[in-house]
Amino acid sequence: MGESHAMLGHWFYLHFTENEGMAFGMRLGGNYGKVLLTLFRIVAVVVIGWWLVRVSRKGAGTLLITSISLILAGALGNIIDSVFYGLIFSESSFTQVATLFPPGGGYGALLHGKVVDMLYFPVINSHYPAWVPFAGGSELLFFSPIFNIADSAITSGVLLLILFQKKAFSPLTTHAATPKEESITQP
């Protein structure tokens, strides 16, 4: 847990970590909170799936369908980890890597798995200049979250919807043939 491998210089790492809760490692109180969070994720995926089918049948544009599909795929990926990861992997630690299908079973019950995050992009890893009030000389780390591909899909889908909402949610317009006004010219 917490093992890192530099991939592209000092700005992209594969950093294995198990996220026990929501975004940024936030947790929802104990075992019941974990089950509640997983059940909420499942309900959200069902609603998103229903929404995707509905807009597809109505002939929505590619942008809306792609955005919803990205959100759905990412949510499904995180649910698979959350539901099954604890059943099929042993507990990992700083000294031991998790093993797949351990003889005694996994570390958790159904719906109690952790979500594996592995992408880390510390774009700026430096120090504040000494002259900056209150922070001078302290570490400056820009973009410190560790996330996974499912999180990237969700974020990309949501950003597409936000940035291009006018186009994504524009009503489907079917242009019926309208007679053109013909100008009458007199010889």
- What's the chain's average pLDDT? 82
State the Cα–Cα distance between residues 129 and 135, nearest whole angstrom: 8
Asked if 167 and 61 touch (Cβ cutoff 8 Å), the reply is yes
| Distance, C-alpha 161 to centroid of its chain | 14
Tokens 């079973």 belong to residue: 105
- Indicate the range of 57-61, 114-118, 172-176 predicted with least confidence: 172-176
Share of the chain above pLDDT 90, in %: 27
Model confidence over 45-93: pLDDT tens digits?
A: 999 999 999 999 999 999 999 999 999 999 999 888 888 888 888 888 7
**Of these residues, 114, 151, 153, 168, which one is catalytic?**
151
Active site residue 151: yes
**Of these residues, 18, 20, 81, 117, which one is catalytic?**
117
